Amino acid sequence: MTKSSAYRASSDQPAFLAVDFFCGAGGTTRGLIDAGGYIIAGVDKDPRCRETYLENNTNERLDYSEPRFLEYDVFPEDSGKASGQQKKLRQELKTLIPFYRARARKVPLLFAICAPCQPFTRLSRKELTAKRKAGRRRDKNLLREAVKFVKWFKPELVLSENVQGIGDPKYGGVWDEFRDALRAAGYVTGTNVVCTSRFGIPQFRRRSILVAVRRDVAKSERMADEKGSEILVPESDPDSVITSVKRAIGHLPAIKAGESHRKIPNHRARTLSDLNLLRLGSAKPGQSNAYMEKTPDGNLSLKCHRKVNRKFGTRCFTDVYTRMRPDKPSPTITTKCHSISNGRFGHYDTKQVRGISLREAAILQSFPEDYVFYPQEQIEPIARMIGNAVPPKLACFYSRYLANSVELDRRKSR
């Protein structure tokens, strides 16, 4: 490094430092970087996310390096979980966080805690193996374990995102418990349910957002009341516009089912059976799958669907084997976004008889178009990364909001 570049690196201070817990393929991290943050580390126990995370998320402040990818399980070793590595993770962060705090003394520290959402979704109620059920039960405690790191390291800021339904009492009050633990640790908090379409993201996706600011540095104008007991959580980005599917992905070149584009990474669509090609070939954008009852090739509706429809006297599963609307944001992008049998994931262009590609799904999640997911030759693992991700634009907005919620002259050295 030259003397001039060394000076630039040392003087280019970030808006905040951050550790991204449960970072996955890096949706939250990408948003934090775009908001001007410096990511010290991403924490995730899944090694399959490492390459995607590191290849796409070089810091743009301070030393311009990649974040660390800390492959640890946040559970303690005595939790009954053999892979528990909480102590090791704590020790590593005890080295990293003070080092970067010393290099960026005048910026706050943010912990992003966006735990896996599967235990709190309707889809997770389907029949699972005993092993997976046990895993889901443990995962409901992830927020409880993560809040320990907040208590140990006292970041000025905390950001958490999860599914809309996490606040439902049937999940054991984990969201309220998480919020109460932050309050008890000295934070003022706020929570809201928002739709991603109101943040410039071309997708209808309702999410629970929780923000927290350490009480001793919180700006009074961010409070929802005079007592300062709750922080405001914006429901939209006033600088964004509603973005349609066509506007978001309409520029991408056409491909066929089972085809990959030679030059555009991840622009790859899943293969369809001959029967599903007939089905989707008869579908019009935005309509329900009632079209399958009367197609040029006869009644193509599924026998199991007919049986369920007769049983309940109404049409069920109306979105499967259907196309998105071009003039609206997309439906929620899930881990099955590559499959037309799992939702309204058919491409809106009737000349393209296929589901959306992985690249299109990533764009609808607000990932940059040059964000490459690995291994490129696979579909299901990448769809899982995309569907599980926090939309980068959502993380960008709320992390920037939090960074501006700190009163600099009140900040105490830690």
95-124 pLDDT per residue, tens: 999 999 999 988 999 999 999 865 555 544
**Domains observed in the chain:** 11-238+391-409 (3.40.50.150)
Distance set, CA 35 to CA 59, 114, 152 (Å): 11, 17, 25
d(CA 56, CA 384): 17
Amino acid at 140: K
**In terms of pTM, does the model score above 0.95?**
no
The least confident of 79-88, 120-129, 163-172 is 120-129
The pLDDT value recorded for residue 7 is 35
- Which residue type, as a one-letter code, is found at position 270? R
> What are the pLDDT digits (tens) for 17-49?
999 999 999 999 999 999 999 999 999 999 999
- Mean of the pLDDT values across residues 365-383? 97
Q: How confident is the model at residue 125, as a pLDDT?
A: 44
For strands 37-43 and 16-21, give the pairing. Answer: parallel
337-348 burial, b for 16+ CB within 10 Å, e for fewer? bbbbebbbbbbb
pLDDT at 308 (0 to 100):
74
- Quote the pLDDT of residue 227: 83
What is the rounded distance in angstroms from the CA atom of residue 314 to the CA atom of residue 306?
10
Higher pLDDT, 302 or 237: 237
Distance in angstroms (rounded) separating the CA atoms of residues 186 and 388: 30
CA atoms within 13 A on the CB side of 274: 1
Measured in degrees and rounded to the nearest 5, phi and psi for residue 74 equal -80, -10
| Size (the chain), residues | 414
Query: Residue 157, CB half-sphere, CA atoms under 13 Å: how many?
Result: 26
> Is pLDDT of 294 > 70?
yes
